[in-house]
Chain A
Amino acid sequence: MSVSVRIPTILRTYTGGESEVKAEGGTLREVIADLEKNFVGISDRVLDDAGKLRRFVNVYVGDEDVRFAEGLDTATPAGVQVSIIPAVAGG
């Protein structure tokens, strides 16, 4: 299942400058593993040593923050937009 992944500026060194790339996978975990195949090193930036999402990374599948869903096990249906964003907020 192919999804579209929006890449933040600080990870575009891994994607050759691309701000949006395609990836395969039925869950977020699989999508990140697939990204790693094509863009070696990117997974370590998003996941910590224990394989969990780093605490200052926000990932959205569609409109949903995956921390409100199933985290790395969040389903990624075909065609969905995945977005990786540095966690900053302050209104």
Chain B
Amino acid sequence: MPDLGNATALICRECGNTVELGPYYACSECFGPLEVAYDFSGVTRESIEAGPHNIWRYKDLLPVPSNVAEIPNTEPGFTRLVKADQLASALGLQTLWVKDDSGNPTHSFKDRVVGVALAAARELGFKVLACPSTGNLANAVAAAAARAGIRSAVFVPSDLEQQKIITTAVYDGTFVTVDGNYDDVNRLASELAGEQEDWAFVNVNVRPYYAEGSKTLGYEIAEQLGWRLPDQIVVPIASGSQLTKIDKSFQELIKLGLVEDRPYKVFGAQAEGCSPVSAAFKAGHDVVRPVKPDTIAKSLAIGNPADGPYVLDAVRRTGGAVEDVTDTEVVEGIRLLARTEGIFAETAGGVTIGVLKKLVESGRLDPSLETVVINSGEGLKTLDAVAPVAKPSANIAPNIEAFRATGLV
């Protein structure tokens, strides 16, 4: 039997079919996604606070063995929650926080999900850590496998940002670029997952466990706010998993009595060039029509987001919204966050900041309520997005006269 902590079973989100804990990810009855079920007991604020300063302080709320923190891993999480007063002021908000997940070991929130996937995959007997990726996951898988001393196998679209290619290749695992978009790479990985039985494709055949790692974003936000839920939260949408898991984490904290049960609204953010969930939200649909992505926000460029329907459920249930912004607004969002708070976000962060701005301007986000916005990754990984506009003020000869002549004094 695998030791997966307090996890008890896998349950189909669509039809409720229950499956034993194992290397399963799709319901054998209806193909619906399987979700980890738990029997939590003895989890208190104190037991969490006594844990390490990384995601393993929440190990009792994750499908991982109790000794998970002692096995070599990248120790992700517990990133900064930055009080963003200047950004708040620029946008006309009273209280705003930025959850800055660029501070993770490979500089995106993906270290969280990979940490959980690696621990579960080990328990389930897999030998290789693999994934299809838009880049951030590629970095996280390659690094986590290197740290754990196992083989990695990573597949990405060949037109990925150069930074994300290098920051994967450096870990020296098996790394394949594929001539196609992310959805093509994902399809390839799904087919490979059916052939390579000891390969854990973290976001495919280990997905129920992997996805649970995103709950730690929600746990941390609540703990860092002093065991309190924010009123409003703005989350980027790629597959939609991060958003649904943050919502799940808030619900769990309420059920466990760790935070006060109060209403909160979840907002989703997409780039216009890949906005199938936003389009479905605006049209009032409960299914998501796949699109062919075309945006600089490549980490969010999933045209066929599997968790899209559940995003729509969570957003509508909580009274939030899904909005999208143009690539120009994405770049403006990156610059605004950098200028006001000294945080350099990747394009996905530009998407959430751009959407935050749009939601305030259109009155759908209440400026008087406490708001958290997620920055899921690091600007150094998407330099091309801002290179045309992020330039020195001047270039001068090394003397004072030359500097004075620029008018910058």
Contacts and interface: CB of A to CB of B under 8 A. Distances in A.
A45 B29 CA distance: 6
B200 to A, nearest CB: 13
A22 interface: no
A89 B148 CA distance: 25
Interface string B274-318: 000000000000010110100000010110111101000000000
Contact of A89 (B26, B29, B299, B304): B304
B172 interface: no
A91 B135 contact: yes
B306 A91 contact: no
B203 interface: yes
A88 B207 contact: yes
A63 B193 CA distance: 18
B132 A56 contact: no
Interface string A71-91: 000000000000101111111
Contacts of A65: 183, 290, 304
A87 B306 contact: yes
A26 interface: no
B289 A67 contact: yes
Contact of A85 (B182, B190, B195): B190
A54 B33 CA distance: 12
A55 B288 CA distance: 9
Interface residues of A, number: 27
A65 B191 CA distance: 14
A6 B292 CA distance: 24
Interface in A4-30: 6, 8-10, 13, 19
B25 interface: yes
B133 interface: yes
Chain B CB within 10 Å, residue with most, of A8, A9, A19, A48: A9
A42 to B, nearest CB: 12
Nearest to B23: A9
A89 B30 contact: no
Nearest to B214: A90
Contacts of A85: 187, 190-191
A63 to B, nearest CB: 7
Interface string B132-161: 111111000000000000000000000000
Contacts of A8: 26, 190, 194
A54 B30 contact: yes
Interface in A38-75: 45-46, 48, 54-58, 60, 63, 65, 67-68
B241 interface: yes
Interface in B193-248: 193-195, 203-204, 207, 210-211, 238-239, 241
Nearest to B137: A91
A90 B203 contact: yes
Interface in B102-136: 132-136
Contacts of A63: 184
A89 B306 contact: yes
Given A10-B26, A83-B187, A85-B190, A91 B238 contact: yes
Contacts of B299: 91
B33 A56 contact: yes
Nearest to B309: A55
Contacts of A67: 289-290, 304
B28 interface: yes
What are the 8 A-B residue pairs with the smallest beta carbon separation, nearest first? A90-B239, A91-B134, A86-B26, A56-B31, A90-B203, A85-B190, A89-B306, A10-B28
Interface of B: 14, 24-33, 132-137, 182-184, 186-187, 190-191, 193-195, 203-204, 207, 210-211, 238-239, 241, 287, 289-290, 292, 299, 301-302, 304-307, 309
Given A10-B27, A87-B31, A89-B183, 4 more contacts: A6-B191, A83-B187, A83-B191, A91-B133
19 contacts: A8-B190, A8-B194, A9-B193, A9-B194, A10-B24, A10-B28, A48-B30, A54-B30, A55-B287, A56-B31, A58-B304, A65-B290, A65-B304, A87-B304, A90-B239, A90-B241, A91-B186, A91-B203, A91-B299
